[in-house]
Amino acid sequence: MILRLLSVFSLAVLGFATHAATTFTPQNPPEMVRLSNTNSPAHQAMKVFRRGANIGNYLEVPRGQDWGVKVSADEFQKIRAEGFDHVRVPCGWQHYAGPAPDYKLEEGIFARADFIVTNALAGGLAVLLNIHHFDKFTSDPTNQTEKFIALWRQIAAHYAAFPNTLAFELLNEPKDAAKTKVLNPIYARAIAEIRKTNPKRTIFVGPGQWNQVSELKNLVLPNDDDNLVVTVHCYDPFYFTHQGAPWAGGDTKVKGIQFPGPPAKPLVPDANLKLNKWVVDWIKRYNTEPASTNPSGPGAFAAKLQLAHDWGEHYGRPMHVGEFGALRSIDSSSRGNFYREFRKQAEGLGLGWTIWDWSAEFRYWDKQNNAPMAGMRDALFR
């Protein structure tokens, strides 16, 4: 209750006096029962997954590709010294699996993952290790289930003796055919498989549609497992956070969007960009609306974070935001405003968070200068 009051207060200070607190209406199927223990193993585990950084664009990169990120053993002390308590380690295990029925993982990928996991743990960080961008599975989950389970069987066996500050996350950003309802029984199988060798390991589970908060309503977790954390992603306001990102599609071509809007001088997009009507409308609102309702403002994610919080409270599951962030090419003062506001809201609601990312396109750490990117330390830790 106090947290709720505080968050309403901080929104009011930001000009959010008109933002009414949402009333949460549970919509999940009845199989999704509420757990009552607010000090479950998952809740205890979350004490070390409060403030994290994604080691992005590294182990998830397909074989033979290099996305420009290198990781050295001493890096994890820096991450810890900045104030982070955990790292999330995206990993593309599926690229290193042999044929059916064993789908045997190569020693080489374990060696690379071990390097990250052991150095991070030794540096005093908790670690969240996942399966990332498994597109063949998300396009055809039914026919790829055995591979998904076999990957987890091997990963779980390999890390069975590791400390409990290593957690697993079943799957990054399910999409396409991997709808939440399709995944529920597959997740249950993967969890049961992991439990054979890792009865005490914390497991993070995220809903479909890229781990969107709006998909939480379709999630069904095994009732008898109280060491599960639910993780969501949020990149809102998307036209701000992904402006100019070549992989994000035509709607993110407009650059120069600040946070929060409105800008001092209206932004006039290049006429040659041939923008969709909804983008033109968004920019119109961005240019004109006050910070309290501006689409490039704190309201772009407030209701989603609130919903994640309310859902977790209702179902008795601790919640985590596994990815949020804004491209490094964006002006540093807007980036700072954005990261500060997002993490403050998340913390106010008791949600753990992990920034995307440590040293890649959304970077926190500038390796050339051996220092955080401008404004980032202030935004996250002051």
Site residues (CB under 6 A) for ligand BGC? 56, 173, 323, 356, 361
* Strand 365-366 with 371-372, pairing: antiparallel
Which sign does the torsion angle of CA 3, 9, 11, 16 carry?
A: positive
Tokens coding 146 = 């055995």
Residue 126's alpha-carbon distances to 91, 101, 186, in angstroms, are 16, 33, 26
CB of 148 to ligand BGC, least distance (A): 18
Q: Closest residue (Cβ) to ligand BGC?
A: 356
Q: Which is nearer to ligand BGC, 169 or 361 (CB)?
A: 361
Q: Which is nearer to ligand BGC, 326 or 380 (CB)?
A: 326
CB of 19 to ligand BGC, least distance (A): 27
Q: How many CA atoms lie within 13 A of 341 on its CB side?
A: 23
The count of other CB atoms within 10 Å of the CB of residue 70 is: 9
CB of 268 to ligand BGC, least distance (A): 26
Residue in 203, 236, 201 with CA at minimum distance from that of residue 342: 236
CB of 36 to ligand BGC, least distance (A): 33
Q: Which is nearer to ligand BGC, 301 or 356 (CB)?
A: 356
d(Cα 288, Cα 337) in Å, to the nearest integer? Answer: 19
Q: Are 172 and 130 spatial neighbours (Cβ–Cβ below 8 Å)? A: yes
Tokens coding 285 = 């609102």
Q: Which is nearer to ligand BGC, 310 or 361 (CB)?
A: 361
CB of 207 to ligand BGC, least distance (A): 15
d(Cα 259, Cα 79) in Å, to the nearest integer? Answer: 26
Query: CB-based contacts of 267: which residues, under 8 Å, 6+ apart?
Result: 254, 256, 257, 283, 286, 287
DSSP string, 248-300: G-GGG------SSSPPSS-----GGG---HHHHHHHHHHHHS-TTT-TTSTHH
Q: Which is nearer to ligand BGC, 84 or 356 (CB)?
A: 356
Q: Are 373 and 363 spatial neighbours (Cβ–Cβ below 8 Å)? A: yes
CB of 134 to ligand BGC, least distance (A): 12
CB of 297 to ligand BGC, least distance (A): 20
Residue in 322, 361, 329 with CA at minimum distance from that of residue 49: 322
CB of 75 to ligand BGC, least distance (A): 19
Query: CB-based contacts of 164: which residues, under 8 Å, 6+ apart?
Result: 45, 200, 201, 202
3-state secondary structure (DSSP) of residue 22: coil
Q: Which is nearer to ligand BGC, 85 or 323 (CB)?
A: 323
Q: Which is nearer to ligand BGC, 90 or 141 (CB)?
A: 90
Tokens coding 103 = 């789908």
CB of 266 to ligand BGC, least distance (A): 27
Q: Which is nearer to ligand BGC, 61 or 126 (CB)?
A: 61
CB of 108 to ligand BGC, least distance (A): 21
Q: Which is nearer to ligand BGC, 250 or 290 (CB)?
A: 250
Q: Which is nearer to ligand BGC, 175 or 189 (CB)?
A: 175
